[in-house]
Structure 1
Amino acid sequence: MAKRKSVTPPPATPPVHTHPSAGLLRRLGALLYDYLVVISLLVIAGFIGMGVAQLLLVTGLATVPEGRDASWLLTSPLYSAWLALVIMGFYVWFWTRAGQTIGMRAWRLRIQNVDGSNIRITQALIRLATAAFGLGNLMCLLGGERPKAFQDIWAECEVIVLSKDENLNMLDKS
C-alpha cells in the first residue's frame, strides 16, 4: 500500500489594496445618516405593528387585561422582535446586495470582502451582532495604516473609501 503524499497549499499572496480604508469620522457620518433612515423605517414598522395589534383586538384573537389599553400589546417580545427584524433586514439587504447602505453611499463607503466581492448574509449578521450599536468603530483609532473596526475583524471584511467616479458607477449599477 502506497503512502499518500500530503499536499501543501501554495502560500497565499497578500491582497493588493487599491482603495484606502475608511476612517472613524467617515464611518460615524455614514452611521448617523443610516440611523435617520432606520428611525423612519421603525416609525413605519410601528404603524404596521399598531395596525396588527388593533386587528387582533377587533377580531378577538388577542385580549387586553383589565385596566390596560391596546398599546399594551406593543410591549410584547414579539413586537420587539419585529422591530429588530426591520433593523437587521435594512442592513443585511443593503450590505449583501450593493455593499452600501444609504449613508455609506453619501459618504462614498463600501463594505466588501478582501477580494472585492459583496459580503454574505452570515457576514452581515456577524457584523450586526458585533458592532455594539456603532461602538465597534472606535477600534479604527488603533488601526494604523489600514484601520478596521471590531465588526470588520469578526466578519472578515473591510470598509473602503471609493472615488467619486466609482461611487457614481455603484449608483448606476443598483
Structure 2
Amino acid sequence: MNTMPLPAPAWRRFAAIIYDVLAVVAIVMVVGLIAQIATGGQVADGKGHIVAWWYQPLQGLVVGAYFFFSWTRGGQTLGMRPWKIRVVSREGGAVDVKRGLVRVVVAGLPVLLLMLYRVTSLQVALLAPLVGWAVILLPALFDARRRGLHDMAAGTEVR
C-alpha cells in the first residue's frame, strides 16, 4: 500500500517560521550594511527616510533569493532544518525552478502591503503584511494536506 507521508504539523512549521524570521533579519542587516558602505552612507537622509530607489527592491530580491534557493536546493531553509521539515513538490520530489518562483512570489505578495505607509500610518503598514501572511497560511488549518495558498499555487507542500 502506497501512502503519502504526512504533512508537517502546524507547530513545527510555526517554529521554522520563527527561526527564518531571525535569518531574514540577519540578511536584511547584512545587505543594509553593504549598501551603506557602497553608498558612503547615502541610503537614507538625515531623518531616516530611504532615498536610494534601489535599496528596498534589493532587500526584497535578496530575501526572496534566500527562500528560492533554499527551497529549490534541498527543500529546506535554515529554519526548517532543526525541525526536520522540507518543501517538496505535490508528488514528493524536489521543488523545481517554476514551483520555487511561484511559491516565492505568492508568499512574498504581502510585502507589497508595506507601501500602505504612504497613505496610512506606519503601524498599519507594518501590520498589513502580517495579516496578509495569515490569510495565505489560513487554508493550512483546513486543507487535508495542510497547504497554504502559496503551496496550492505552486503545487508544493511541507512534510
Give the TM-score taking structure 2 as reference length: 0.73
* Residue in 1 that maps onto 2:139: 139
User: Contact 1:27/1:137 (CA < 8 Å) preserved in 2?
Assistant: no
Please say if 1:106 is aligned against 2:106.
no
| Higher deviation after alignment, 21-30 or 94-103 | 21-30
Long gaps (5+) in structure 1 = 1-15, 58-63, 161-174
User: Contact 2:146/2:157 (CA < 8 Å) preserved in 1?
Assistant: no
| TM-aligned CA distance change 1:96 to 1:119, over 3 Å | same
| TM-aligned CA distance change 1:70 to 1:50, over 3 Å | farther
| TM-aligned CA distance change 1:129 to 1:53, over 3 Å | same
| TM-aligned CA distance change 1:121 to 1:70, over 3 Å | farther
Larger Rg: 1
For 1:34 and 1:51, the matched residues in 2 are separated by 26
* Residue in 1 that maps onto 2:116: none
For 2:62 and 2:101, the matched residues in 1 are separated by 13
For 1:157 and 1:142, the matched residues in 2 are separated by 16
* Residue in 2 that maps onto 1:149: 148
State the identity %: 26
For 1:27 and 1:147, the matched residues in 2 are separated by 10
Matches within 5 A, 1:13-32: 16-32=2-18
Long gaps (5+) in structure 2 = 111-128
Please state whether the residue corresponding to 2:91 is helix, strand or coil: coil
Deviating above 6 A after TM superposition, structure 1's stretches of 4 or more consecutive aligned residues are none
Number of matched pairs: 134
* Residue in 1 that maps onto 2:101: 125
For 1:81 and 1:17, the matched residues in 2 are separated by 43
